[in-house]
Structure 1
Amino acid sequence: MAIQRIKLAHIDYKSSLQGSYDKTFGKTKDRLRLKRFPEPDTTDFIKERMVPKLLERVQRTLTKDTILVCMPRKEGKLAPNVLPIKYTKLLSDIHNIPHIDLSDYLRVIQETSARGSYSAGERADNPFRISFNDTDTKQELLDKLSNKKILLVDDVITTGETSVVMATFLKETVPNIEIQGAHALAVVNNSGPTPRDIMRITEKLHAHLPKMDPNKIREDVHLALGSFTRKKAMRFEIGIKDLATAKMKYYDIKKDISKIQNGLGTSISEPVANKRANGINQLKETSTTYKNRRH
Structure 2
Amino acid sequence: MPEKDRRSLFEQWLPPEASLQAVKRPPTEQFFLTNEERILLTENAPIEIGVMNAWPPIDYVNDQGKPIGIGANFIEAINLRLDGALKIIPGSWDFIYAEYHPFTVSSHPSCCNLRVTVKALGDYTSKLQSSLHEGVSSSIQGPYGMFNFKNGKYKKQLWIAGGIGITPFLSFITEVDENYHVTLIWTVKTLGEASYQDELNSAIKHKPNVRILIHDTETKNHFSIENHYNSVNLADTTAFICGPEGMRYGFIEQLLKKRVSINDIHFEEFSFR
TM-score of the pair, normalised by structure 1: 0.29
TM-score of the pair, normalised by structure 2: 0.30
Higher relative strand content: 2
